Amino acid sequence: MPASIQSDQFAQLSNGTKLHYASAGQQGKPLILFVHGFPEFWYEWHAQLEEFGGDYFAVAPDLRGFNLSDMPADLSAYKAKHIVDDLRLLAQHLGYEKFVLVAHDWGGAIAWNFAIALPQLLHKLIIVNSPHPYLFMKALATDPAQKASSEYMNWLRAEGSEAALAKDDFATMENLLNGMGKAPAPWFVGEVRAKYHECWSRGLTGGVNYYRASPLHPPTDDHPGPLKLQLNPEDFRIKVPTRVIWGENDMALPKTLLDGLNELIDDLKIERIPEGTHWIIHEQPDRVNRLIRGFLSE
């Protein structure tokens, strides 16, 4: 029987940020934190909350800038270190010193940073279609195919992108969800579509500010992005047991981003889903749940 979800909860963090979150299960059981990406919100993980709320305290926050969480006006507030701090303080607010972190897309970018900076706070790290920051930086700087695949990031970074995304009842937002697969997304209909529109109507600036605040984007004449970074791969080593689920039919994040991942992670397993797109969590929720449960039981 699926666990029931409570979706009307807020945490006032000690750094001044108020995060909205949904949860399933009993506080006191092991914490598993699910972190969404762009252009999503906590509801991305509803099938996982229902599945894992039975034996975990399963929590899915809206990241700062999204949906019902605070939306700071200052662009610098969207740097990864501040969002990592939000997750640390959220776990602390919930009464936990250590937890399992599951994340997708931008949530995954934050989760990689979290595992690098604060490995002592994580039991395990589970990533879904989100590239390791060192490998992504290298690909953006040197791989023409990756630069072309990621060109949408520069469009999102541009002034006024949020207005363009909202135009014609969020037509471009819907194309992001449909177009990053090979065909219209059958999961994005009815009640789900309505929930996403409700979320987007609360504001899109916070979401696109993640792109604007990040140095990881295709280089341009005005913004060299990764070309100006001189990074040591050892500074990006992951010492937490890590499992990666990757839909290989991801148009923006191709499977080549997995190449070399084993050299940066001490304990790694990768599960490839050839037919899965960037939105594999929605396409095959039961399979994703089985894989997560398998990782947790190892």
- Please pick, among 36, 132, 278, 282, the residue that the annotation labels catalytic: 278
Answer yes or no: are the C-beta atoms of 130 and 136 closer than 8 Å. Answer: no
Catalytic annotation present for 8: no
Q: How many CA atoms lie within 13 A of 75 on its CB side?
A: 9
Question: What are residue 58's phi and psi, to 5 degrees?
Answer: -95, 125
Catalytic annotation present for 105: yes
Give the type of residue at 254.
Answer: P
- Please pick, among 104, 105, 210, 217, the residue that the annotation labels catalytic: 105
- Please pick, among 21, 152, 210, 211, the residue that the annotation labels catalytic: 211
**What burial letters (b/e) apply to 255-288, b meaning 16+ CB within 10 Å?**
eebbeebeebbeebeebebeebbbbbbbbbbeeb
Answer yes or no: are the C-beta atoms of 195 and 233 closer than 8 Å. Answer: no
Catalytic annotation present for 143: no
Answer yes or no: are the C-beta atoms of 47 and 13 closer than 8 Å. Answer: no
Q: Catalytic positions, please?
A: 105, 211, 278
